[in-house]
Amino acid sequence: MEEVKQFPAVERRRNLAVSFEQREAGEVAVFQELGKALTSSLQLDQVLRTIMEKIDEFLRPDNWSLLLLDQEKQELYFELAVGKASQALKDVRVKVGQGIAGWVAQHGETVVVPDTSKDTRFFSKVDEKTKTETQSIVAVPVKFRDTCLGVIELINCIGPDGFDPRDLKLLEALSDFAAIALENARHVKRIHELTITDDCTSLYNARHMGFILETEIYRSQRYNYEFSLVFIDLDHFKQVNDTHGHLVGSRLLAEIGNSLKSRCRLIDFAFRYGGDEFVILLPQTSKENALNVARRLHKLIRGTPWLVAEGLSVRVTPSLGVASYPVDARTKEGLLHLADEAMYLVKNTNRDSVAAANLGILEDTVAIPDGPLEPEIALGGGEAAEFPPTGVERRSTER
């Protein structure tokens, strides 16, 4: 094994020719640049990249990383890693309380460890995975108010004289900027989610459906795919509101929406179109397969007692309409019109069944016996093909 030179990063960092005034002016410039980045851009990557560059420029550690906290799993993961071992850290996760970084995330306090061999908190398994030797660590919490969002960790940047207190203040200031950038990014993401999701059901809303439908038409034209729309309207939903009240009605919509969402494949989209109407978009699904999906949804909704956990057992029936690209229409407006028209054909006749554009009401869905659908059946017909690149991320309906 090659001999590791003691404190290599410190020797690179210290430059005796740099005066105190020059260093102070450089630090002021750093804060000015970061301030501009924060106020001129809501792009998290851009701000974090600036912070990364400044840590490297001023502190010059062998390796450094930004770990973010997965609140749900209570684990830290490497959002950014710079240095020789950065690629090996991609899939590494550290539990809160585990190792130096985990301890910092748990307690929200800065830690300076000049010699890791003498600190019982040191977690050597990361070194084993990265094939590196960690001699010293400086770890600073990234906190917004009293909430820890992550940890900035510097490896091998402490010299024989310790870690300069001025450098530590600079690092803590940089972590504050990172916290502001992260919090801004979370707010922007949340605002975006609010603009495309329905408050009551957490499904995508009608506005987002228009965008997704246009994207799917473009993709299907380019790669010669089929896709289908299923419109769903709950029959006599007003009676639920009149009998049980609007709060129960809203909870019923949410429960049905969640049930639809849970049966979607990863490539499918579920929308609340408005009122008591839902739409399912089935990429790469032929009309024949979409009709099978509609039959299963019909059985699911009419055969399930809803709101049982709340002491109720509400029964509703649905009217469904199906239209497919390209056999029925090749435009967004045409598909929406035909699926909606098929659904209203059902509503204006006997309700409680399925109709398809250019086919009419499916006889096998009229007056079928009650019975719940097998809960694990997915909506789409058959396996989904591998997606070619589209430029638009395919999303699960889980959010």
DSSP string spanning 227-263? Answer: EEEEEEEETTHHHHHHHH-HHHHHHHHHHHHHHHHHT
Cα distances from 184 to residues 69, 192, 256, 285, in angstroms, run: 16, 12, 34, 39
Residue 192: pLDDT band by 50, 70, 90 thresholds?
Answer: confident
Residues 173 and 24 in one domain: yes
Element containing residue 345 per DSSP (H, E): helix 332-347
- Token pair in block for residue 272: 């609340």
Query: Which of 194, 228, 244 represents a domain boundary (last residue)?
Result: 194
- Token pair in block for residue 51: 């912070």
pLDDT in tens, 344-363: 999 999 899 999 999 999 99
Show the domain range for 122: 8-194
Residues 343 and 323 in one domain: yes
Helix ranges (H only) for 117-231 are 125-130, 165-196, 206-223
Instruction: Output the domain CATH number for residue 174.
Output: 3.30.450.40
Q: Give a yes or no: residue 333 inside a domain.
A: yes
Residues 211 and 188 in one domain: no
| pLDDT of res. 389 | 34
pLDDT at 113 over 90: yes
Query: Which of 167, 194, 221 represents a domain boundary (last residue)?
Result: 194
Classify residue 322 by burial, with Cβ atoms within 10 Å: 0-12, 13-18, 19+.
Answer: buried
Q: What mean pLDDT comes out for the span 42-52?
A: 73
pLDDT at 33 over 80: no
> d(Cα 262, Cα 273) in Å, to the nearest integer?
18
Q: Give a yes or no: residue 391 inside a domain.
A: no
pLDDT in tens, 239-283: 999 999 999 999 999 999 999 999 999 999 999 998 999 999 999
Q: How many separate domains does the chain show?
A: 2
Residues 207 and 337 in one domain: yes
CB 113 within 8 A of CB 122: yes
Residues 265 and 208 in one domain: yes
| pLDDT of res. 139 | 94
DSSP 8-state assignment for residue 375: T
pLDDT in tens, 288-346: 999 999 999 999 999 999 999 999 999 999 999 999 999 999 999 999 999 999 999 99
Q: Give a yes or no: residue 104 inside a domain.
A: yes
> d(Cα 48, Cα 252) in Å, to the nearest integer?
43
| pLDDT of res. 320 | 98
Global pTM reads: 0.64
| pLDDT of res. 52 | 76
Count of helices and strands (H, E) across the chain:
11, 12
Residues 160 and 204 in one domain: no
Residues 128 and 233 in one domain: no
Amino acid, res. 131: K
| pLDDT of res. 55 | 77
